[in-house]
Amino acid sequence: MHKPTTLHFQHLKRVLRYLKFTINHGVKLRSSPSFGILAYSDTDWGGNSDDLTSTSAYVIFLGGNPVSWLSRKQCTVARSSTEAEYRALATTTAEVMWLSNLLHELKVSSQLSPRLLCDNLGAVHLSSNPVLHSRMKHISWTVTLCANWFRQVAFVSRMYLHVISLQIFSPSLCQPLDFRNCGSR
């Protein structure tokens, strides 16, 4: 790490404390009558106070069980919350595409359409109508990735985008660790 500070050391201690008190936590898998793909995508627009980059996050469920998740800092600064959410949506779409292809190769079929859930109306509209407005021209590759897959997936299944409130997942995906889960300070 380049030039660590006292703040970095405090964050390291916080992560280690979290790991110490959650060592017995795990992912519990359970059987489910439905076997569809459900993905939640979220971001915190400009959440990093050092460089104003956003954190993208997703959780993908297969049959009600989490099978893939990610929380990662975006490489570029987003000009709007729609752009930040759309970049997270593109990352989630790529992972859902990979999982769908894997299931197809394994000859595992599902009667349910994959669903991708996002809490930003602008990102949802941009996904369903990939018209590049003047404010969105700089994310054309992302628009192309999502729009092409939404068109191509029609012969296998149709992916529907829903706007929901991600009150359960948002705080845990994009936000810093909560001290209440890390034991005593």
Query: Is 87 inside a domain boundary?
Result: yes
Q: Which two tokens stand for residue 48?
A: 């990093």
Residue 130 above 70 pLDDT? no
With a threshold of 0.75, does the pTM exceed it? Answer: no
Query: Is 184 inside a domain boundary?
Result: no
In CATH, what number is assigned to the domain containing residue 115? 3.30.420.10
Contacts of 74 (CB under 8 A, 6+ apart): 43, 53, 54, 55, 56, 84, 87, 88
Query: Whose CA is closest to 87, among 163, 39, 130, 139?
Result: 139
pLDDT tens digits, 34-77: 788 888 888 876 666 677 787 888 899 998 899 999 887 777 77
* Rounded to 5°, angle at Cα 59 from 53 and 65: 170
Task: Give me the residues paired with residue 15 across strands.
Answer: none
Task: Give me the residues paired with residue 97 across strands.
Answer: none
Query: Is 157 inside a domain boundary?
Result: yes
**Helix intervals (H) in 43-139:** 81-105, 121-128
Least confident of 47-51, 67-71, 96-100, 118-122: 47-51
Instruction: Calculate the average pLDDT of the chain.
Output: 73
Q: How many domains does the chain have?
A: 1
Q: Which of 50-54, 132-136, 161-165 has the highest mean pLDDT?
A: 50-54
Residue 14 above 90 pLDDT? yes
Range of the domain at 67: 34-177
Query: Is 13 inside a domain boundary?
Result: no
Query: Is 95 inside a domain boundary?
Result: yes
Q: Which two tokens stand for residue 80?
A: 């709007």
Compute the residue count for the chain. 185
Per the CB < 8 A criterion, the answer to whether 66 and 122 are in contact is: no
